Structure 1
Amino acid sequence: MTLLTTWSESGPETQVRRTSDPAEIAEALKPLGVRYEQWPIREDVPFDADSDTVFAAYGPEIEKLNAEEGFTTVDVLGLHPSDDPEFPAKAKAAREKFLQEHTHDDDDEVRFFVSGSGIFYLHVNGEVHAVFCEKGDLLGVPRGTTHWFDMGTNPSFTAIRFFHEEDGWIGNFTGSTIASRFPDYDTIAAGYEADKASA
C-alpha cells in the first residue's frame, strides 16, 4: 500500500489530498507527467538482495520498461542498517543530499522499490505531493520536475534505478529550504503505520 499526501506549497496546514488508493494516486499524478504503477511483489527476494538476484527476479518487468522508455542503464541501489560503524554517518550524508530540493535537466528519476520504503516530494504547480513508496511501487519523476527525496533517519530500502544517460544521477539544487517546512519521512511513516494498524 502506498500513500499520497498533497498540500499547498504554503505549508502542511493546508492539506489538499490524502489517499492510499493506487488508482487514485496514479490518476492524481498523471497530469504532472509522473508515472506511478505497481509491479508484482516477489516474496522470495530478500530485503537486502544483491543486484543479480534482483535482476533475475524482475527481469521481465525491467525489459518491458526499457522497451517502452528507452533506458540505457539500470542498476540496483541498496541501503540498509548494518554493523558497519560508518553506516550512520554514510546514511546521514546520503539523506541530507537528497533532502535538498532539486531538479534533473537530462534525465527522469525512475525508481522501483524492491524492499523498504522512501518518500518522493514533488513540488509542482503551487503544491507539494508526498508519495510514500513501498515494496512493489514504481515512480517515474519527469526531468525538470522540482522535488526531493527522504529515506528517513534509519534508511532501509533496495531500489532499481533506471537512466537514459550513462552519467546517472545529476542534481541541480534550487537552494530552497522548502523541504524543512513539510513533514519528513519519519513523521509520515509513523502516521502511515498507525493507519494501517487500525484499518
Structure 2
Amino acid sequence: MVRAYYYKEDDEPMTNLHDSGENVSIQELENIGIFYKSINSLENVDKIAIDRNYKNRDYITLDSKTFPGGEESLNNKLNIFFTEHLHEDEEIRYIIDGNGFFDVRNNNDKWIRILVEKNDLLILPAGIYHRFTLTNNKFVKALRLFKDEPKWIALNRIDGNTESNKYRKEYISSIIQG
C-alpha cells in the first residue's frame, strides 16, 4: 500500500522523510489525478501498458555506488530532478528495486510526498507540478513507460511560464471538474 503524507518543510536533506504526520489517502491522490497500484510482475505492468497505449520503455538505475561520476554527480542529478516542474506527458514509473520520493502539488498548492518502493506503479498526469528524489538509501531501479518516443522536457515552475502552458491548464481543469 502506498505511503503518502503532507511534506514537512524544514532544513533537512531532501532525501529525508519530511513527514508531517498528516497522511494522505489514496482517494486524495486520485482526486489530483495520481494513479497508484502495487503490481507484483512485469507481465501485469505490460497489461497496463497495453491498456494505456504506452509504446516505449526504458530502465533507469540511480545508485550512489555506480552512478557515472560518483555520488557527487548523482547528487547534482537529484538537484535537477528536485526542481519543481511539470511535463507535457504523463510520467509513469514502475519501481523494480529500491525506493524514492515523488512530491506532487495538490490543488491547494501543498506538497504531498509519496514514497515509491519495489512493485509500486505511479502515474503522474501531464501538467501536475512535481519533483523527485531518492531516499537516504540512494538507490532505485525503475521502468519508465512512454506513449510515444521518450522525451524529457521538464518545464520548471520557477521560470514563470508554466501557468499558461496548455497541459497545465488542461490538468487544472480536470481536477476542478473531477
TM-score normalised by the shorter chain: which range applies? 0.7 to 0.9
**2:54 and 2:129 mapped to 1: Cα distance?**
21
Deviation at 1:91, TM superposition (A): 0.6
Match of 1:145 in 2: 128
TM-score, normalised with respect to structure 1: 0.67
Alignment of 1:106-185 (within 5 A): 107-126=89-108, 127-152=110-135, 155-175=138-158
Match of 2:22 in 1: 17
Match of 1:46 in 2: none
Task: Report SS of the residue matched to 1:64.
Answer: helix
**1:31 and 1:135 mapped to 2: Cα distance?**
24
Deviation at 1:84, TM superposition (A): 6.9
Change over 3 Å in CA distance of 1:28–1:16 after alignment to 2: farther
Gaps in structure 2 of 5+ consecutive residues: 11-19, 160-178
Task: Report SS of the residue matched to 2:76.
Answer: helix
For residue 114 of structure 1, what is the amino acid of its counterpart? I
| Seq. identity, % | 23
Q: Is the 8 A contact 1:114 1:160 kept in 2?
A: yes
Gaps in structure 1 of 5+ consecutive residues: 20-24, 41-56, 177-199
Deviation at 1:153, TM superposition (A): 5.8
For residue 37 of structure 1, what is the amino acid of its counterpart? K
For residue 156 of structure 2, what is the amino acid of its counterpart? F
Task: Report SS of the residue matched to 2:158.
Answer: coil
Q: Is the 8 A contact 1:114 1:159 kept in 2?
A: yes
Change over 3 Å in CA distance of 1:61–1:89 after alignment to 2: same
Change over 3 Å in CA distance of 1:7–1:142 after alignment to 2: same
Q: Is the 8 A contact 1:26 1:37 kept in 2?
A: no
For residue 28 of structure 1, what is the amino acid of its counterpart? E
Match of 1:22 in 2: none
Q: Which runs of 4+ in 1 moved over 4 A?
A: none
Change over 3 Å in CA distance of 1:84–1:163 after alignment to 2: closer
Q: Is the 8 A contact 1:92 1:153 kept in 2?
A: no
